[in-house]
Amino acid sequence: MFNNLTPPPPDAILKVMQQFRDDPRSDKVDLGVGVYRDATGVTPVMRAVKAAEAHLVATQDSKGYVAMAGDTAFHSAMAALVLGGVVGAERIAAAAATGGTGAVRQAMELIHTANPQARVWISQPTWPNHPALAEAAGLEWRPYRYYDAENGGIDRAGMMADLDGAREGDVILLHGCCHNPTGADFTESDWADIAAFLERRGLIPFVDIAYQGFGDGVDADAAGLRHLAARLPRLMIAGSAAKNFGLYRERAGIYMVVCPPAERDTTQAMMAWLNRSSTGFPPDHGARVVTTILNDPMMKDQWLQELAEMRARVNGLRAALATALRKETGSDRFGFLGAQKGMFSLLGGTDAQIARLREEFGLYLVGGGRMNIAGLKEDTVDRVAAGIARVLND
Ligand code: LMR
């Protein structure tokens, strides 16, 4: 049986992770996988997380199973964080998942269970795993134009022209904030236009919000999603605590459905069942850490402050890189970097150019030129800018 297997396609991000690990040079710079790093290059355990974990060690008296959909206290805490109270609990179904990736996968399974004919529309470019997760759930997906590489913003006309091909009941996958890989986000008026379009056409939004808090703040970053939730009858959400709580390996994610109250209980039951038929019970530790922090005013304040520090650091590095590139190129060619949001920006570049950055300069970017800004350090900005200017500024 196993001799029938063919090797799976390489994952663009994991490939860069491996290449970086295999590189013996001490001055190599990892601008690949989307993890936050501090000024010493470390992905730290947040102090609020340490406090919550210490509390759990002291007080937790069982590791028994929780529930197929995870802990309802986690659902409530995450619903409040993401939705900010714009819809009542009677409209929210939720289930914990194995990280943001598991949340997207389970949401895709739910779409397939509810309507196998639904097509999922995915931005081009997007996080490389999105199409794979749709396919794994047996769903057909279609691309829509999103990025305007000329000005580093959104190709609104191209996007609307492509989405015009969606049929009633199709699902439109949107990035809630800090678009991965471009860093180009919708404005408030874009969200209003999108909501009106989805409403008119009977389309269902599915918002992946993996980077809440890395753009302008936890509430500002969820404003577009909340607008959709308040205005439309149905919305799907995949949330993650990997980045904003620094809980990457704990796999703390959640998927939620906002729907009419009459649809809520069956949706909730189906989400629990879908968990049962994949992971059985979702992981609990990271989810419990998040719940502990969000329900304790002092820990929550501490967490918000640390998140604000991380956001400020990434924004500072963005600005520093934009300035260094302006100096290196004598132009505003990379000026868009300063205006974009979150960990990522897309610098462009052919496969050969990305390979040259890696081989000659020790700079590791994902194919297409996705750069993790949080992988920079104050003392690598100038060297990275020089390499980029030499290789990409033609
Ligand atoms: C990324 O985009 O680099 C992260 O979301 C990590 C991942 O799972 O791909």
Q: Residues 304-329: pLDDT tens digits? A: 999 999 999 999 999 999 999 999 99
Sequence ranges of the chain with CATH classification 3.40.640.10: 65-295
Ligand 1 mutation target, pool 11, 13, 248, most atoms within 8 A of CB: 13
DSSP state of 167: P
Query: How far is the C-alpha of 203 from the C-alpha of 207, rounded, in Å?
Result: 13
Sequence ranges of the chain with CATH classification 3.90.1150.10: 11-44+312-392
Query: How far is the C-alpha of 290 from the C-alpha of 294, rounded, in Å?
Result: 6
| Token code pair at residue 318 | 């963005």
Ligand 1 mutation target, pool 20, 98, 129, most atoms within 8 A of CB: 129
pLDDT of residue 269: 98
- Residue 101 CA, closest ligand 1 atom number: 8
Which residues lie below 8 Å from residue 10, measured CB to CB, with a gap of 6+? none
The closest residue, in CA terms, to atom 5 on ligand 1 is: 34
Write down the CATH number for the domain with range 65-295: 3.40.640.10
Query: How far is the C-alpha of 300 from the C-alpha of 283, rounded, in Å?
Result: 22
Ligand 1 mutation target, pool 101, 123, 127, most atoms within 8 A of CB: 127
Which residues lie below 8 Å from residue 202, measured CB to CB, with a gap of 6+? 168, 169
Q: What is the Å distance from ligand 1's center to 129 Cα?
A: 8
pLDDT of residue 10: 84
For the chain, residues with pLDDT lower than 70 are 394
Q: Which amino acid is at 272?
A: A
Give start and end residues of each alpha helix (H) in 247-284: 261-276
pLDDT of residue 9: 85
pTM for the complete prediction?
A: 0.96
Greatest distance between any 2 Cα atoms in the chain: 62
Q: Does the structural domain 11-44+312-392 have CATH classification 3.90.1150.10?
A: yes
- Residue 180 CA, closest ligand 1 atom number: 2
Q: What is the Å distance from ligand 1's center to 91 Cα?
A: 30
| Residues belonging to the active site | 127, 208, 210, 243
Query: How far is the C-alpha of 123 from the C-alpha of 388, rounded, in Å?
Result: 26
pLDDT of residue 185: 97
What is the percentage of the chain residues whose pLDDT exceeds 90?
97
- Collapsed DSSP state (helix, strand, coil) of residue 206: strand
List ligand 1's pocket residues with C-beta within 6 A. 13, 33-34, 101, 127, 129, 180
Query: How far is the C-alpha of 55 from the C-alpha of 268, rounded, in Å?
Result: 30
**Angle (deg, nearest 10), helices 285-294 and 47-59:** 110
Query: How far is the C-alpha of 48 from the C-alpha of 304, rounded, in Å?
Result: 9
Q: What is the Å distance from ligand 1's center to 14 Cα?
A: 8
